[in-house]
Protein backbone atom coordinates (compact mmCIF):
# COMPACT_ATOMS: atom_id res chain seq x y z
CA UNK A 1 0.00 0.00 0.00
CA UNK A 2 1.53 3.28 -1.13
CA UNK A 3 1.23 6.19 1.22
CA UNK A 4 1.91 9.83 0.42
CA UNK A 5 3.98 11.63 3.03
CA UNK A 6 2.67 15.19 3.32
CA UNK A 7 5.94 16.87 4.31
CA UNK A 8 8.51 14.76 2.48
CA UNK A 9 6.22 14.93 -0.61
CA UNK A 10 7.13 11.44 -1.69
CA UNK A 11 5.03 8.35 -1.93
CA UNK A 12 6.40 5.26 -0.22
CA UNK A 13 5.15 1.81 0.60
CA UNK A 14 3.60 1.83 4.07
CA UNK A 15 4.61 -1.78 4.73
CA UNK A 16 8.21 -1.02 3.82
CA UNK A 17 8.25 1.69 6.49
CA UNK A 18 6.54 -0.55 9.04
CA UNK A 19 9.07 -3.27 8.20
CA UNK A 20 12.04 -0.93 8.50
CA UNK A 21 10.69 0.32 11.83
CA UNK A 22 10.25 -3.28 12.91
CA UNK A 23 13.75 -4.45 11.93
CA UNK A 24 15.45 -1.49 13.54
CA UNK A 25 13.15 -1.97 16.54
CA UNK A 26 14.26 -5.61 16.89
CA UNK A 27 17.91 -4.56 16.75
CA UNK A 28 17.41 -1.75 19.23
CA UNK A 29 15.59 -4.10 21.58
CA UNK A 30 18.38 -6.67 21.28
CA UNK A 31 21.23 -4.27 21.84
CA UNK A 32 19.59 -1.59 23.96
CA UNK A 33 20.42 1.20 21.53
CA UNK A 34 18.02 3.75 20.09
CA UNK A 35 18.57 2.63 16.51
CA UNK A 36 18.61 6.16 15.14
CA UNK A 37 22.07 5.61 13.69
CA UNK A 38 20.67 2.76 11.59
CA UNK A 39 17.28 4.23 10.77
CA UNK A 40 18.45 7.58 9.43
CA UNK A 41 20.81 6.08 6.78
CA UNK A 42 18.12 3.54 5.84
CA UNK A 43 15.70 6.42 5.26
CA UNK A 44 18.33 8.04 2.99
CA UNK A 45 18.56 4.80 1.02
CA UNK A 46 14.78 4.59 0.37
CA UNK A 47 14.69 8.13 -0.96
CA UNK A 48 13.47 10.26 1.94
CA UNK A 49 15.16 13.69 1.69
CA UNK A 50 18.01 13.78 4.29
CA UNK A 51 16.65 16.89 6.00
CA UNK A 52 13.26 15.23 6.53
CA UNK A 53 14.88 11.97 7.62
CA UNK A 54 16.99 13.65 10.30
CA UNK A 55 14.14 15.76 11.72
CA UNK A 56 11.58 12.97 11.68
CA UNK A 57 13.96 10.49 13.23
CA UNK A 58 14.46 12.87 16.16
CA UNK A 59 10.71 12.78 16.71
CA UNK A 60 10.62 9.00 16.53
CA UNK A 61 13.42 8.69 19.09
CA UNK A 62 11.31 10.71 21.54
CA UNK A 63 8.72 7.92 21.37
CA UNK A 64 11.09 4.98 21.66
CA UNK A 65 13.11 6.56 24.49
CA UNK A 66 9.94 7.47 26.37
CA UNK A 67 8.73 3.90 26.04
CA UNK A 68 12.11 2.65 27.28
CA UNK A 69 12.60 5.07 30.16
CA UNK A 70 9.31 4.10 31.85
CA UNK A 71 10.68 0.64 32.61
CA UNK A 72 13.83 2.22 34.08
CA UNK A 73 11.79 4.59 36.26
CA UNK A 74 9.96 1.62 37.73
CA UNK A 75 13.29 -0.04 38.49
CA UNK A 76 14.68 3.26 39.87
CA UNK A 77 17.68 3.13 37.55
CA UNK A 78 17.47 6.76 36.42
CA UNK A 79 19.77 9.39 37.91
CA UNK A 80 17.42 12.34 37.44
CA UNK A 81 19.85 14.93 38.74
CA UNK A 82 22.61 13.79 36.38
CA UNK A 83 20.02 13.59 33.60
CA UNK A 84 19.00 17.20 34.10
CA UNK A 85 22.63 18.38 34.05
CA UNK A 86 23.21 16.44 30.83
CA UNK A 87 20.00 17.88 29.40
CA UNK A 88 21.15 21.45 29.99
CA UNK A 89 24.26 20.69 27.95
CA UNK A 90 22.17 18.78 25.44
CA UNK A 91 19.80 21.67 24.76
CA UNK A 92 22.74 24.05 24.19
CA UNK A 93 24.34 21.48 21.88
CA UNK A 94 21.12 20.86 19.93
CA UNK A 95 20.68 24.60 19.34
CA UNK A 96 24.28 24.83 18.10
CA UNK A 97 23.78 21.76 15.95
CA UNK A 98 20.66 23.13 14.25
CA UNK A 99 22.45 26.42 13.52
CA UNK A 100 25.35 24.52 11.90
CA UNK A 101 22.88 22.27 10.09
CA UNK A 102 20.92 25.18 8.62
CA UNK A 103 24.08 27.04 7.64
CA UNK A 104 25.50 24.06 5.79
CA UNK A 105 22.13 23.38 4.20
CA UNK A 106 22.31 26.82 2.63
CA UNK A 107 25.79 25.97 1.31
CA UNK A 108 24.57 22.67 -0.08
CA UNK A 109 26.98 20.69 2.09
CA UNK A 110 24.55 19.25 4.61
CA UNK A 111 24.46 15.76 3.09
CA UNK A 112 28.23 15.64 3.21
CA UNK A 113 28.32 16.82 6.82
CA UNK A 114 25.74 14.26 7.93
CA UNK A 115 27.51 11.44 6.11
CA UNK A 116 30.96 12.44 7.32
CA UNK A 117 29.67 12.55 10.91
CA UNK A 118 28.26 9.07 10.45
CA UNK A 119 31.46 7.67 9.00
CA UNK A 120 33.68 9.18 11.70
CA UNK A 121 31.52 8.38 14.71
CA UNK A 122 30.31 4.99 13.60
CA UNK A 123 33.87 4.06 12.61
CA UNK A 124 35.39 5.06 15.93
CA UNK A 125 32.63 3.67 18.13
CA UNK A 126 32.27 0.47 16.11
CA UNK A 127 36.00 -0.13 16.08
CA UNK A 128 36.45 0.47 19.81
CA UNK A 129 33.46 -1.66 20.67
CA UNK A 130 34.72 -4.51 18.48
CA UNK A 131 38.18 -4.53 20.07
CA UNK A 132 36.79 -4.15 23.57
CA UNK A 133 34.29 -6.98 23.25
CA UNK A 134 36.90 -9.27 21.66
CA UNK A 135 39.11 -8.66 24.71
CA UNK A 136 36.16 -9.22 27.05
CA UNK A 137 35.36 -12.52 25.32
CA UNK A 138 38.95 -13.70 25.66
CA UNK A 139 39.01 -12.67 29.32
CA UNK A 140 35.70 -14.31 30.19
CA UNK A 141 36.98 -17.59 28.70
CA UNK A 142 39.96 -17.45 31.01
CA UNK A 143 38.53 -16.16 34.27
CA UNK A 144 34.86 -17.17 34.21
CA UNK A 145 33.37 -13.74 33.55
CA UNK A 146 34.60 -11.79 36.56
CA UNK A 147 35.03 -8.23 35.31
CA UNK A 148 37.24 -5.97 37.39
CA UNK A 149 35.55 -2.81 38.70
CA UNK A 150 37.76 0.19 38.32
CA UNK A 151 36.88 3.83 39.04
CA UNK A 152 38.87 6.36 37.16
CA UNK A 153 40.31 9.23 39.13
CA UNK A 154 41.58 11.61 36.50
CA UNK A 155 41.04 15.14 35.26
CA UNK A 156 37.31 14.82 35.86
CA UNK A 157 37.88 15.02 39.60
CA UNK A 158 39.99 18.19 39.78
CA UNK A 159 37.53 20.57 38.06
CA UNK A 160 35.47 23.10 40.09
CA UNK A 161 31.63 23.34 40.57
CA UNK A 162 31.33 19.95 42.21
CA UNK A 163 27.95 18.43 42.74
CA UNK A 164 26.72 15.28 44.47
CA UNK A 165 24.83 12.78 42.34
CA UNK A 166 23.31 10.43 44.89
CA UNK A 167 21.81 7.82 42.57
CA UNK A 168 25.12 7.36 40.77
CA UNK A 169 27.11 7.67 43.98
CA UNK A 170 29.32 10.37 42.46
CA UNK A 171 30.72 13.68 43.67
CA UNK A 172 32.10 15.38 40.53
CA UNK A 173 32.25 18.71 38.76
CA UNK A 174 29.26 19.58 36.54
CA UNK A 175 31.56 20.67 33.69
CA UNK A 176 32.25 17.21 32.17
CA UNK A 177 28.57 16.14 32.14
CA UNK A 178 27.58 19.45 30.54
CA UNK A 179 30.29 19.05 27.90
CA UNK A 180 29.17 15.49 27.21
CA UNK A 181 25.61 16.82 26.92
CA UNK A 182 26.67 19.52 24.45
CA UNK A 183 28.47 17.00 22.23
CA UNK A 184 25.52 14.61 22.19
CA UNK A 185 23.11 17.50 21.54
CA UNK A 186 25.09 18.59 18.48
CA UNK A 187 25.11 15.03 17.18
CA UNK A 188 21.37 14.66 17.80
CA UNK A 189 20.63 17.75 15.73
CA UNK A 190 23.02 16.97 12.89
CA UNK A 191 22.74 13.22 12.60
CA UNK A 192 19.19 12.59 13.76
CA UNK A 193 20.32 10.12 16.38
CA UNK A 194 19.62 9.89 20.08
CA UNK A 195 23.34 9.68 20.74
CA UNK A 196 23.09 6.70 23.06
CA UNK A 197 26.04 5.07 21.33
CA UNK A 198 28.22 8.05 22.33
CA UNK A 199 26.49 8.82 25.61
CA UNK A 200 26.72 5.36 27.15
CA UNK A 201 30.51 4.95 26.72
CA UNK A 202 31.03 8.59 27.79
CA UNK A 203 29.05 8.02 30.99
CA UNK A 204 30.95 4.88 31.86
CA UNK A 205 34.48 5.85 30.87
CA UNK A 206 34.54 9.65 31.37
CA UNK A 207 32.02 10.28 34.16
CA UNK A 208 32.54 6.94 35.87
CA UNK A 209 28.85 6.27 36.40
CA UNK A 210 27.75 2.80 37.54
CA UNK A 211 26.57 0.66 34.63
CA UNK A 212 23.13 -0.02 36.07
CA UNK A 213 22.00 3.63 35.93
CA UNK A 214 23.70 4.44 32.61
CA UNK A 215 21.02 3.22 30.17
CA UNK A 216 18.07 4.71 32.07
CA UNK A 217 19.76 8.06 32.55
CA UNK A 218 20.84 8.24 28.93
CA UNK A 219 17.28 7.50 27.77
CA UNK A 220 15.95 10.15 30.16
CA UNK A 221 18.38 12.71 28.79
CA UNK A 222 17.70 11.75 25.16
CA UNK A 223 13.95 12.42 25.48
CA UNK A 224 14.36 16.11 26.22
CA UNK A 225 17.19 16.69 23.75
CA UNK A 226 15.45 14.98 20.83
CA UNK A 227 12.15 16.68 21.74
CA UNK A 228 13.95 20.02 21.63
CA UNK A 229 15.60 19.08 18.33
CA UNK A 230 12.21 18.11 16.89
CA UNK A 231 10.79 21.49 17.83
CA UNK A 232 13.75 23.33 16.31
CA UNK A 233 13.53 21.42 13.04
CA UNK A 234 9.73 21.77 12.95
CA UNK A 235 9.82 25.53 13.43
CA UNK A 236 12.87 26.45 11.33
CA UNK A 237 12.94 23.87 8.52
CA UNK A 238 9.36 22.49 8.51
CA UNK A 239 10.85 19.05 7.95
CA UNK A 240 9.19 16.86 10.60
CA UNK A 241 6.93 14.41 8.79
CA UNK A 242 4.40 13.19 11.28
CA UNK A 243 2.97 10.47 9.03
CA UNK A 244 6.44 9.02 8.49
CA UNK A 245 7.15 9.21 12.22
CA UNK A 246 3.95 7.36 13.15
CA UNK A 247 4.61 4.54 10.66
CA UNK A 248 8.17 4.08 11.93
CA UNK A 249 6.95 4.22 15.52
CA UNK A 250 4.39 1.48 15.14
CA UNK A 251 6.91 -0.89 13.60
CA UNK A 252 9.59 0.23 16.04
CA UNK A 253 7.78 -0.37 19.32
CA UNK A 254 6.59 -3.82 18.28
CA UNK A 255 10.04 -4.73 16.99
CA UNK A 256 11.68 -3.52 20.20
CA UNK A 257 9.60 -5.88 22.31
CA UNK A 258 10.51 -8.84 20.09
CA UNK A 259 14.16 -7.78 20.11
CA UNK A 260 14.26 -7.71 23.90
CA UNK A 261 13.15 -11.38 23.99
CA UNK A 262 15.79 -12.43 21.44
CA UNK A 263 18.45 -10.49 23.36
CA UNK A 264 17.86 -12.67 26.43
CA UNK A 265 19.19 -15.76 24.61
CA UNK A 266 22.50 -14.16 23.62
CA UNK A 267 25.56 -13.46 25.76
CA UNK A 268 26.49 -9.83 26.43
CA UNK A 269 29.85 -10.11 24.61
CA UNK A 270 28.27 -11.78 21.59
CA UNK A 271 25.65 -9.03 21.48
CA UNK A 272 28.27 -6.35 21.59
CA UNK A 273 30.36 -7.95 18.84
CA UNK A 274 27.27 -8.23 16.63
CA UNK A 275 26.40 -4.61 17.31
CA UNK A 276 29.97 -3.53 16.59
CA UNK A 277 29.96 -5.42 13.28
CA UNK A 278 26.68 -3.78 12.31
CA UNK A 279 27.95 -0.32 13.17
CA UNK A 280 31.09 -0.96 11.11
CA UNK A 281 28.99 -2.22 8.18
CA UNK A 282 26.84 0.93 8.10
CA UNK A 283 29.99 3.03 8.41
CA UNK A 284 31.67 1.19 5.53
CA UNK A 285 28.65 1.59 3.26
CA UNK A 286 28.45 5.35 3.89
CA UNK A 287 32.22 5.69 3.57
CA UNK A 288 32.25 3.90 0.21
CA UNK A 289 29.54 6.25 -1.05
CA UNK A 290 31.84 9.16 -0.32
CA UNK A 291 34.93 7.51 -1.82
CA UNK A 292 33.54 5.93 -4.96
CA UNK A 293 32.47 8.01 -7.91
CA UNK A 294 28.71 8.50 -7.66
CA UNK A 295 26.51 7.42 -10.57
CA UNK A 296 24.91 10.86 -10.71
CA UNK A 297 27.30 13.75 -10.18
CA UNK A 298 24.57 16.37 -10.09
CA UNK A 299 21.94 16.97 -7.47
CA UNK A 300 18.98 19.30 -7.29
CA UNK A 301 17.93 21.50 -4.45
CA UNK A 302 15.54 24.36 -3.87
CA UNK A 303 16.92 27.79 -4.63
CA UNK A 304 18.05 30.09 -1.90
CA UNK A 305 20.99 30.30 0.38
CA UNK A 306 24.47 31.25 -0.86
Partner 1 sequence: MIRSLIASLSLGIAALAYPATAGEEEVVLGLSQDRVAITATFDGSEILIFGAVKRETPIPDGDPLQVIVAVSGPSSPVTVRRKEKKFGIWVNTDSVLVDSAPSFYAIATSAPFAQVISDTEDLRYSVSIERAIRSVGAAMHIRGAQDFAEAVVRIRENRDLYSLRENTVAVDQQTLFRTAIDMPADLTEGEYKARILLTRSGEVVSHFETDIDVRKVGLERFLFALSREQPFVYGLMSLAIAIAAGWGASAAFRLLRNS
Q: Given the rule CB under 8 A, which residues bind partner 1?
A: 1-4, 6-7, 9-11, 59-60, 62-68, 70-71, 108-109, 111-112, 227, 230-231, 234-235, 238, 240, 242-243, 245-246, 249-250, 253-254, 256-257, 290-294, 296-305
Q: What is the CA radius of gyration of the chain?
A: 19
Query: Cα separation of 55 and 62, whole Å?
Result: 11
We find the least distance from the C-beta atom of residue 109 to partner 1, in angstroms, to be 6
We find the least distance from the C-beta atom of residue 204 to partner 1, in angstroms, to be 25
We find the least distance from the C-beta atom of residue 297 to partner 1, in angstroms, to be 5
Strand residues in 122-210 grouped as ranges (E): 162-165, 170-173
Query: Cα separation of 163 and 178, whole Å?
Result: 12
Q: Which of 176, 287 has the CB closer to partner 1? A: 287
Q: Which of 154, 302 has the CB closer to partner 1? A: 302
We find the least distance from the C-beta atom of residue 191 to partner 1, in angstroms, to be 18
Q: Which of 106, 147 has the CB closer to partner 1? A: 106
We find the least distance from the C-beta atom of residue 113 to partner 1, in angstroms, to be 11
Query: Cα separation of 27 and 55, whole Å?
Result: 21
Helix (H, G, I), strand (E, B) or coil at 82: helix
Kindly state the helix (H) or strand (E) to which residue 49 belongs, with its residue range.
Answer: none
Backbone angles phi, psi at 170, to 5 degrees: -120, 150
Taking a C-beta distance cutoff of 8 angstroms, is the pair 46, 20 a contact?
yes
Q: Which of 67, 140 has the CB closer to partner 1? A: 67
Q: Which of 4, 171 has the CB closer to partner 1? A: 4
Amino acid sequence: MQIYLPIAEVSVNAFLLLGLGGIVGVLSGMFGVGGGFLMTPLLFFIGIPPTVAVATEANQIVASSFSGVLAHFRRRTVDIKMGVVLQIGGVIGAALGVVVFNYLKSLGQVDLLVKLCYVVFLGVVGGLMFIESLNAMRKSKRSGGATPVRRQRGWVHVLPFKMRFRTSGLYISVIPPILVGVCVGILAAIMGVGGGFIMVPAMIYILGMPTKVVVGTSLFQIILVTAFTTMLHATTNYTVDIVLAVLLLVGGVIGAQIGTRIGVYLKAEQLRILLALMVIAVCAKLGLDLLLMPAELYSLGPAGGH
